[in-house]
Structure 1
Amino acid sequence: MALTWKTLTRFGSRYVFWIMFAISFLNYLDRYVLVGAANVIAKELNFQLDGIGFVTSAFLIVYTLGTIPLGLWADRSQRKSVVALCVGLWSVTTALTSLATNFLSLFIFRMILGIGEAGYFPAGTALMSDYFDREKRSRIMSWWSIAQLLGILGGYELGGVLAGLYFGSWRLAFLFTGLPGLVLAILAWFIREPGRNEADEKRLSVQPQDLLAGEESIAGAQKGSTLRASFSKMWSLLRIKTLVVLIIMQVFAYFVLGVSTTFLPTYLQQKDTFHLSSGTAGLYSGGVIVVAGIIGTLLGGYMADMLNRRHPGSRVLVCGVGFLVGAPAFAAAMLFHNIVSFTIFFVLSAILLTIYTGPCTAATQDVAPAALRASAVAISLLLAHLFGDAFSPSIVGILATALDPTHGLHFQAGMAGQDLSIAILLTCAPALFIAGLVGILGARWMRDDVQAAERADLLLRASEA
C-alpha cells in the first residue's frame, strides 16, 4: 500500500493537474453557494441589495489584501504546503457559515473565508507553472479554469435549490460544500513539490553563459529574504510593462465579473424582470455562465497559443479584443427583459468576457521570472481585486438601492429588477470598453518582457552555479 501511495503521489503533472482542478472546483463552489442563495438569505436575515454587495465585498477585500503576504510566503516555501493549509482553512470556514444567525456573523465568516482562498491561487498558479512549460501553459491554464466555471455552476445550483426548500434550508449548502475540502487538503499536502522553473528548464537548452546583460535588477530581487527585499520584488514586478497592462485590464474586467456573478441570480428572481424561482435562477445562472464560459475559456486559450507563434503579444491582444467586443453585447443583455433576447446577448457577452482567462494567466507567468511567479500572481490579484471587484458589488448594490424611490421596498416585494438593471448598465458597459482598449494598446510590450524574464532566469542560475 505504501508503494502504491508513493507511486500515486509521484505520478507527475497529470496527477497534480487533477488535484488542482478539483481544488479549483471546490474553491468556486464554496464561493458561489452564497450567491446562489443570496436572495433568500437576505430576506431571512433581513438585509437589502446593498447588504448582498457588502457581504460579497467582505470576502473579496480580505481575499485581495491577503494575496501579497501569502504570495510572498509561497515564493519562499513549498507551494503545495501553502495550498493544502489554505484549502483546509476555507473548508472549515465554509462549514461554519451554516451557523450564521444575522448579517454580522455572515459578514465575519465570509471575511475568514477570504484568508483561506487568498493563499491558494498564487501558490497554485506558480506550482502549475513549474509542471507545464510556456509552450502549452495557456492551454493548461484554460483547462484549469474550467474547474472554476463548474464550481460556479455547482455553487449557484446547490445554493439556489437548497435555499428554496424551506426556511433556513440554505444552511445545508454550506455544510455540503465545506467538508469535502479537507480530503483535498490532505491530497495536496502529499504531492511532489517541483523545482523552480522546472518545466521551462527542461524545454530550454540555453547555457548560463549565453546571458544578455541588463536583467540584474530583476534577478537580484529574487534572492532577498527580508521584508525590504520583498517590497523590492514587488517593485521589480511593477516595472514589467506587460504585467501592468494585464493588471489594469483586469481591474475593469473584474469589476464587471464581480457584479455579474453576485447579482445575476437575484436579478433573475425579480418579478419585474423574469420572476424565476430560487432553484431555477441558480440553475439558469450556472448553466449560462458555465456553457458560455467553457466556450470562451477554451477558445481564448487555443487562439492565444495559435496566434502566439506569429504575434508575441497575442495573449494580451486576445483579451483586449474579447472585452471590447463584449461591451455592446453586455449592454444589450441588460436592456432586454425578454428571456430569449436576454439569454442570447448574455451568453455572447459571457463568451467574450471569459476569453481572457487562460491567456491572461499564462501571460502573467510568461513575463515574470520563475522565482517571482507566485508574487506576480499575488500582486496582480491584489491590485485587480482591490480596484476591481472588491468594492464593485457594494457600489452597484448601493446604487441600485438609491435608485429605488421606496427605499428598499422594491427588493422586499421582489420588484428590484429595473433598479439593478440600470445600476449594472451604468457601471459595467463602460468598464468593459476601457478594459478592451487597454489590452489592445498594451499588447506590443510582451515580446521584450518575455525575453527579459528568460534572461533573468538564466542570470539567476549562473549566479547560483
Structure 2
Amino acid sequence: MHGQAEEKFPVWYRTYALLILLFVCISNLATRTQPSFLITIPAPDCVQYCTGVVLPYPTCKPTTRPASGVSREQLCQACSTFPAFWQGAVQQLPPWENLPPLQKEAVVLQIEQSFSVSPVALGKPNVTAIKQVIKDAKPHHPGMADRVHEAYIKAFNEGKFEGLQVDTLSGFYNMADATCLWYWQYGLLIGYGFALVYAAGTIPAGYSCDRYRRTSIIALATFVWSLCTAMQAQATGFTLLLGCRIMIGLAQSFGTPASYSLLVDYFASNSRQRDLALPLLTMVGPQLGVGCASFSIVFAELLGWRWVVLLTGLAGLLLAAVVLVTIKEPQRTEYSAPCATTVVVEEVFEKSRVSRLLMWAVSAKMLSSYTLTSFLPIWFARRDLEGYTNDAYAFWNALAVSLAGLLSVCIGSAIGHTWSRRDVRAPCFLGLMGALVSLPLIFMMLLTQYFRTSLLCYFAVLVIGDAFLGPSMNLLQLALRSSVRGQATSMLLGVAALVGNLGPAMVGILDPGGVNIGIHLLWICSAAQVFAALSFLWTANEITLDPVSVGLGAQDKVP
C-alpha cells in the first residue's frame, strides 16, 4: 500500500502537488494575518498630520470634543475621515501668504459656510463647491490646509457632522477607520473570533478527512475562506468582519489537516522525503504567507484596503479551482487511515506524556509567535522608530519572515536529524535553547530605538525560536503509534492555535491605544517563552525517566 502513491504518480507530479499545497498554505496564512497589516495604513495625503499620532478611538467615533484649539490628533482625524475629499482638494490649495486679504477671507468664509449647513445638506454638492473654490489655484501649501482643517474641526465640534453618512466603501485606506474598529474588537477578530471556530472545526474536519476526498475538501475550504476574504471589502462595521473571520476560521480548520494528510500519502514510502515536505508545509508555508500579507501595506497605500482583500480573495478562488481540477487523490496509507477521535484523544492525552508535554511546549511557542505576528505591525506604526516607514516595513518584514522560515527549517532539520541520532531528547533541547535565546532578543526588539535593530532581532527570534518545530513533530511521531500520527498532528496544531490566540486576544483587550502596547507584547511573549522552555525541559526529563515512551512508533515507522 505504501508505494502505490509513488507508483501511480511520477516524481514531477508529486513535486507539483507539493507546490500547489504550499500555495494553499500561503493563502491560508496570508488571509489569516492580513488584518494585522491593513489596520495600520494611513491615507497617503494624511501622513503630515498622522505621523506619530495615535488616536484613542476609531476615526469614525471620537469620544471627546475639545472646546478650543486644533490638535494634531484632530487634524489627523479630519484628514482620515474624508481622505477622498482632502486628496482632491487640499493637495491643490494655493500658497496662503500669496493670496490677497480679501481672497483669503472669501475662501475661508465659503469653506466655513459649506461646513456650517445642516447635516442633510452637507453632502456631495457642498464638497464639490469647496473643491471648486480651491480648484482655481495650483500649488499646495500646508498653512492653507490647516485653515481648511480648522474649519472642519469647528463644524465638527458644533455637531454639524452628526448623522452624516460617510462613503466608507471608497474613502478609507485602512480597515480600522472604515469599519469603526475599536482595539478590543481587533483583538477579537485576530484572536478568538478566529481561533475558537478553528479549534472547534478540527473535530468534524478530522472526521471528514477520514471519509471523503481530501482534494475536494481542500478546494472547498480554499473557496470558502477566499470568498469570505473578498466579502470583507463590503464591510462597514464590526459585525460583517466578525462573520467573515468566523467563516475563514471554520474553512481553514478543514483545509489544514486535509493538506497534511494528502501530502503524507504522496510521500508515504519515503520517510526522508516526507520529513522534508512536512516542514515546508508547517513552517515555510506559514512564514511565506505572513510575508505576502506584509505586502498588503504597499498595495493598500496604492489602492486602499478594500481592493487588497478583494484581489486576495479572487486569487484564492482561482487557486481553489486549480486544486479541484489538477490535484488527484492518492490512495490512503496507514498514516491517513480512519481512526476514531476518542482513540486519538486517549493516545495523546492519557497514554503518551511526551506528546502531552510537547503539545504545551508548542502551544506556548505559538502564543508568542501569534502575538508578535498580530500586533507587531501596529506596534511599529505607533512606535515610529528611527528609520521606520510603512513601505520599508512592508518590504523588510516580508523578506525577514520568508527567509526566516526557510532558514529555520534547514537549521532545525540539520541539527535535529544529526543530534537525534545521538540523543532522542535533541528536539527538546533545541526547543529549550530556542526559547531561552528568544528572551533577550524579544527585549532588544521591543526596547530599541532603531527600526533595523528591532527587525533584525525579530528575524533572529523567528530563525532560532522556530527551528524546534520540525524536530518536535518528528519526536511526536516516535511517541505515538503510526495509526494515530496524522490525526494527532492535526490535534496538536488545533490545540496550539487555540492556546496561541490567547495572546492576541489579551493584547487586544489590554491595548491602551499607544506605544505602551509594547509593554503587553513584552510580558506576554516573555512569559510564553519561559513556559515553553519549562515544558521542553519537562519533556526531556520524561524521556529520561521512560525511554520507551519515544519508541512506540519506531517499530512500525515507515522506512
- The structure 2 residue matched to 1:126, chosen from 236, 248, 261, is 261
Deviations 1:387-407 (A, max 9, x none): 222x21120122222xxxxxx
Report the alpha carbon displacement of residue 444 of structure 1 after superposing the two structures with TM. Answer: 5.5
Whether the aligned pair in 2 keeps the contact of 1:322 and 1:355 (CA below 8 Å) is yes
The answer to whether the 8 A contact 1:141-1:362 is kept is: no
Match of 2:33 in 1: 32
- Counterpart selection for 1:106 from 214, 238, 241: 241
How far does residue 118 in structure 1 lie from its aligned partner after superposition? 0.7
Asked whether the equivalents of residues 142 and 298 of structure 1 are also in contact (C-alpha less than 8 Å), the reply is no
What is the root-mean-square deviation in Å for CA atoms of aligned residues? 2.8
Q: Is the 8 A contact 1:75 1:374 kept in 2?
A: no
**How far apart, CA to CA, are the structure 2 residues paired with 1:138 and 1:102?**
44
Residue 367 of structure 1 deviates from its aligned partner by 3.4
Counterpart CA distance in 1 for 2:443 and 2:275 is 29
Confirm or deny that 1:44 pairs with 2:175: no
Contact 1:35–1:263, Cα closer than 8 Å, also in 2: yes
| TM-score between the two structures when normalised by the length of structure 2 | 0.67
1:260 aligns with 2:394: no
- How many Å separate the matches in 2 of 1:47 and 1:274? 28
Number of aligned residue pairs: give it. 409
Deviation of 1:128 after TM superposition, in Å, equals: 2.1
1:232 to 318, 343, 359: 343
Asked if 2 retains the 8 angstrom alpha-carbon contact of 1:71 and 1:374, the reply is: no
Larger radius of gyration: 2
Give the AA of the match of 1:28: L
**Which of these residues, 497, 506, 511, is aligned with residue 400 of structure 1?**
511
Residues 405-430 of structure 1, C-alpha deviations (whole Å, 9 max, x = no match): xxxxxx4xxxx12x111111111112
Instruction: Check 1:163–1:12 CA distance in 2 against 1; reply closer, same or farther (3 A cut).
Output: closer
Query: Which one of the candidate residues 506, 517, 520 is aligned to 1:420?
Result: 517
* Cα offsets for 1:361-383 (capped at 9, x unmatched): 33334434333233212321232
| SS of 2:328 mapped into structure 1 | coil
**Bigger relative contact order, structure 1 or 2, given CA contacts below 8 A and separation 6+?**
1
Give yes or no for contact 1:72–1:374 (8 Å, CA) kept in 2: no
Partner of 2:44: none
Q: Which moved more, 1:295-304 or 1:135-144?
A: 135-144
Shift of 1:437: 2.4
1:325 is aligned with what amino acid? V
2:313 is the counterpart of 1:178: yes
| Conservation of the 8 A alpha-carbon contact between 1:330 and 1:345 | yes
* Identity, % of aligned positions: 22
Q: Which amino acid aligns with 1:125?
A: Y
Task: Tell me the amino acid that sits aligned with residue 160 of structure 1.
Answer: I
* CA apart distance, 1:455: 5.0
- Could you say which residue in structure 1 is the equivalent of 2:288? 150
Amino acid paired to 2:507: V
Q: Corresponding residue for 1:301? A: 413
Q: Does 1:346 align with 2:458?
A: yes
- Aligned partner of 1:210 in structure 2 is none
Equivalent residue, structure 1, for 2:219: 84
Corresponding residue for residue 367 of structure 1: 479
**Residue 22 of structure 2 aligns with which residue?**
21
Distance 1:357 1:265 in 2: 24
Amino acid at match of 1:388: G
Structure 1, 43-52 or 261-270: larger mean CA deviation: 43-52
Task: Pick closer, same or farther for the CA change 1:457–1:237 going to 2, 3 Å.
Answer: farther
**Which residue among 330, 335, 341 is the counterpart of 2:442?**
330
Paired letter, 2:551: Q
**Separation in structure 2 between the aligned mates of residue 371 and residue 430 of structure 1, nearest angstrom:** 35
Relative distance call for 1:115 and 1:182 in structure 2 (3 A) is same
- 1:194/1:317 Cα in 2 relative to 1: closer, same or farther (>3 Å)? farther
TM-score, structure 1 as length reference:
0.80
Aligned letter for 1:395?
Answer: M
Gaps of 5+ in 1: 1-6, 200-221, 402-410, 459-465
Q: Which residues in structure 2 correspond to 1:149-168 (within 5 Å)?
A: 149-157=287-295, 159-165=296-302
What is the aligned counterpart of 2:250 among 76, 90, 115?
115
Change (3 A) 1:250 1:449: same
Aligned counterparts of 1:255 and 1:312: Cα–Cα separation in 2: 26
Match of 2:103 in 1: none
Q: 1:179 aligns to what SS in structure 2?
A: helix
Contact 2:371 2:504 in 1 (8 A): yes
CA 1:48/1:444 → structure 2, altered by over 3 Å: closer, same or farther?
same
- Go from structure 1 to structure 2 and tell me whether the alpha carbon gap of 1:80 and 1:35 turns closer, same or farther (over 3 Å shift): same
- Structure-2 change in CA distance of 1:392 and 1:41 (3 Å): same
SS state at 2:279 partner: helix
Residues 374 and 420 of structure 1, relative CA distance in 2, 3 Å threshold: same
Structure 1 segments, 4+ long, off by >6 Å, are: 7-10
User: Which one of 60, 67, 73 corresponds to residue 208 of structure 2?
Assistant: 73
Is residue 160–residue 280 contact of structure 1 (8 Å, CA) maintained in 2? no
- Per mean C-alpha deviation after superposition, the further-off stretch among 80-89 and 16-25 is 80-89
Query: Is the contact made by 1:267 and 1:273 (CA closer than 8 Å) also made in structure 2?
Result: no
Task: Give the AA of the match of 2:518.
Answer: S
Report deviation, 1:277.
4.3
Q: Which has the higher helix share?
A: 1
8 A Cα contact 1:86 1:117, kept in partner? yes
> C-alpha displacement at 1:116, in angstroms?
0.9
